[in-house]
Amino acid sequence: MKLNRRKNALRSTTFGILQKIIAILLPFLVRTVTIKILGVEYLGLNSLFSSILNILSITELGFGTAMVYSMYKPIAEDDEDSIRALLNLYKKIYRIIGIVVLTAGLLVMPALKFLIKGDHPADINLYVLFVIFLSNNVIGYFFFAYKNSLLAAHQRNDISSKITILIQIILYSVQIAVLFLFKNYYVYIIFLPLSTLANNLCVQIVTKKLYPQYLAKGQVDAESKKQIKKQIYALFLHKIGYVIQSSIDNIAISAFMGLTLLGKYNNYYYMITAIQGFLTIIKQSLVAGIGNSILLETKEDNKKQFYRYLFMLAWIVGWCATCFMCLYQPFMRVWVKPENMLSISVVICLVALFYVSEMRGVVGLYKDALGMWHEDRFRPIIVSIFNAIGTIICAHYGWFEGIIISTIISYALVGLPIETFVFYKYYMEEKQFKYYLKQIFYLFVSVLAIVPTYFICKLIPLTGIPQIVVNLIICLVVPNITMLVCYFKVPEFKQSISFIKNFKTKRENVDENQTNA
């Protein structure tokens, strides 16, 4: 089966972006109501428990990605028996993972009080709250989470997005109503596991209707199991490194600096993750198509596609970074008020972290599509150890910006060189010089767009919402004109224009297919 990559990518991206809009606006309202009614410390507890549970879920890390990757070939070859056997394996292992995560969560509960510096909200029992968070993590493993692999492997993430949109609208609406009516954090948080259960039940119903031939039965052959185990082992190392990197900051801030600062920081970081969520939707919608392209197209065509995606990402990330620099503080001043704001130095660090982490994305995208996890399996562990040491030292001495800087350095000076070397050695089979030259050029253009735009915005004598609106207009014009001038002669610019035009010519057919779906 040859997937219609462009149609599926556009469809997945469209509904993914709609889902992300819902997932930004409604949680934003929930966070606002929580700050006003309960206080910023409750958001700190959310972040701390989520980070702890991310680490506890390491038993799953890599398994889902490996299973989706393992389905690319049987889907391309219409091998239904292999897909059914993979689903059966996925189902069994997910239940084992659920038991392991539940056990690990119960064992870690006695240590919770040592991970919070100072007081926590007096009306909260840490252990009861943690059990609710834990149940939200565990429940998916036992109820049909494995069925999502069918949608991802067929590049039908748009269906997952439609389900999530419906569940999120209901969840966040109920949570906001509960906060106003009861002002009780327990009643507010109990709807989290209920929404997870509802989401998985909907996925089960939809996949059963779309793919009735794919029942979880049969056995994976010994050779395939061996290959899957190899991929899972490598992915486990990759994902455990990612989890440590993404969770250690929150845990260190809570343990050394307190829940209040953690809550303030996560209000800022929430904005970064919101935009990263949009970019992730775009990238994830391309993974299955890239995997299909690698199997069916020439390597030369795939190389051109790689550099085109790198260019398009550089433009988007550079513009997003400009918007962050110019809109962060004015927006936070209106949203959380000056007493809950952090310094401009923290903003600069967060913008740098956003740029560095996102510009690594295209190499990671292709490595995932290629299943290239074994070749640099120890890189994430090295990066996470480097990052964890720097984070703990900086947190111990109270240098807040240093926590973010240690992450930036670990990404840029440790992670990027290793993963680029592996990708170019085992797939591109050419010198890395071209890639680094493009990255340096894109960084230069991004800085060239950010600096004048920021100082132009600083010259405007406005405050509040008018300042946000004017700054946004400036961000829409100045950086894009700067990048257009700098990129106009770049070959990837013309290729990207052609790529977008091809999307537009097929939009009418795509819309018709979406309606039928």
- For residue 509, what pLDDT is reported? 52
pLDDT tens digits for range 192-245: 888 888 888 888 888 888 888 877 777 877 777 777 777 666 666 666 776 777
pLDDT value at residue 216: 75
C-alpha 75/C-alpha 62 separation (Å) is 20
> CA 191 → CA 30, 172, 333, 511, distances in Å?
13, 9, 30, 34
Distances 283 to 238, 278, 279, 429 between C-alpha atoms, Å:
18, 9, 6, 23
Q: Which of 425, 420, 370 is nearest to 66 (CA)?
A: 370
User: Amino acid identity of 217?
Assistant: K
Q: Are 432 and 304 in contact (CB under 8 A)?
A: no
For residues 489 and 24, the model is more confident at 489
- Neighbouring residues of 291: CB distance < 8 A, sequence distance ≥ 6: 69, 72, 369, 370
Q: Which residue has the higher pLDDT, 493 or 31?
A: 493
Distance CA 165, CA 19 (A): 5
Report pLDDT digits (tens) over 442-476.
Answer: 999 999 999 999 999 999 989 999 999 999 999 99
pLDDT at res. 514: 44
Compute the C-alpha angle 310/324/17, nearest 5°. 60
For residue 91, what are the CA distances in angstroms to 88, 147, 285, 417? 5, 8, 24, 37
- C-beta separation of 288 from 13 below 8 A: no
What per-residue confidence (pLDDT) applies to 515?
46
Q: Is the pLDDT of residue 349 over 50?
A: yes
Q: What is the spatial distance between Cα 105 and Cα 111, in angstroms, rounded to a whole number?
A: 11
What is the spatial distance between Cα 188 and Cα 192, in angstroms, rounded to a whole number? 8
Residue 52: what residue type?
A: I
Residue 486 DSSP class = H
Place of tokens 């260190």: 252
Instruction: Read off the pTM.
Output: 0.73
DSSP code string of 228-286? HHHHHHHHHHHHHHHHHHHHHHHHHHHHHH-HHHHHHHHHHHHHHHHHHHHHHHHHHHH
Between CA 373 and CA 368 the distance in angstroms is 7
Other CB atoms within 10 A of residue 67 CB: 23
For tokens 């779906």, the residue is 517
DSSP state of 218: S
| pLDDT tens-digit map of 403-431 | 999 999 998 988 889 889 988 988 888 88
From residue 363, alpha-carbon distances to 215, 319, 412, 422 in Å are 34, 20, 13, 10
CA of 516: how far to CAs of 239, 449, 511, in Å? Answer: 37, 43, 9
